[in-house]
Amino acid sequence: MRQPLTLYLAAPRGFCAGVDRAIKIVEMALEKWGAPVYVRHEIVHNKFVVDGLRAKGAVFVEELDEVPDGRPVIFSAHGVPKAVPAEAARRGMTFVDATCPLVSKVHIEAGRHFENGLQMVMIGHAGHPETLGTMGQLPAGEVLLVETVADVAAIAPRDPGRLAFITQTTLSVDDTADIVAALRARFPAIVGPHKEDICYATTNRQEAVKAIAPGIDALLVIGAPNSSNSKRLVEVGRAAGCGYAQLVSRAADIDWRALGALRAVGVTAGASAPEVLVNEVIDAFRARFDVTVEPVETARENVEFKVPRVLRERA
């Protein structure tokens, strides 16, 4: 007799519209121009997805100087500093920008504040491609990065009365609210976005985890170790009352001994993790337990972003 187990499947989970669009851009570029098509940085943070595109003829590089003349290059969904498309244009390269439109929106916002003479405070993770891309929209020194509430006390802006803030799109909603409160307390005149920069998909996935976390013994988040939004889901699960939360790239990474005795497990996936990996995890549980799957839906998503026109036109 197998032990009964309920798997609470969080929804929304997995691919968001920006990731979907970015993958489609690489596939359509391969159809239009043939292999190899070059991609600067991982198109999205997921090894399974990147390996799948590599098998179709995508070549992933760190910088443009690795791209031979005459081959198209695609910029990742996380966005790039302004210097990158400028260099591509200088070299006469064909390039397609797969930056998520919600990240581009933050870039536009930063540019607008800069034109209005405001210095920027960015809430984000140092070294993350999205943060580098957003900070790289403005001249050096125009964007001050804060990662924590403690960082807010340490920044030294040019003029405390002429500030605006922006955020990375994949942060923890609750942690960011605390940092924003600290910024507003220290700089009462600081200008914020009309609507939160944290994207709909990040927010929805965190809300779904909060809904299941209190009633489960363990939470498994399917996502890559370098995926910001996936790591935040683990933190959100713990903060919402789940004692054990683990990030796994796929079923083979599950630490069954650490899971121990289970009655209820929550499963979700970060915004760049495909559903095939969710099914793989469910199958791994089915091989060990008598599983009942309970979907828990907290929102419906119907967002879709168009691919750039250059890919919709015939070659």
Residues marked as catalytic: 130
Long-range contacts of 261-264 (CB under 8 A, 24+ apart): 261/217, 262/3, 262/5, 262/217, 262/218, 262/289, 263/4, 263/5, 263/6, 263/217, 264/5, 264/6, 264/8, 264/215, 264/216, 264/217
Per-residue buried b or exposed e for 87-103, using 16+ beta carbons within 10 Å of the residue's own CB:
bbeeeebebbbbbbebb
Handedness of CA 170, 173, 177, 179 (dihedral sign): negative
DSSP 308: P
- Integer Cα distance of 251 and 233 in angstroms: 18
- Integer Cα distance of 10 and 206 in angstroms: 10
Q: Which string of DSSP letters, residue by residue, matches 59-123?
A: EEESSGGGSPTTS-EEE-TT---THHHHHHHHTT--EEE---HHHHHHHHHHHHHHHTTPEEEEE
| Tokens at 304, concatenated | 């879709």
Contact 59, 49 (CB under 8 A): no
- Integer Cα distance of 176 and 233 in angstroms: 14
- Integer Cα distance of 260 and 155 in angstroms: 45
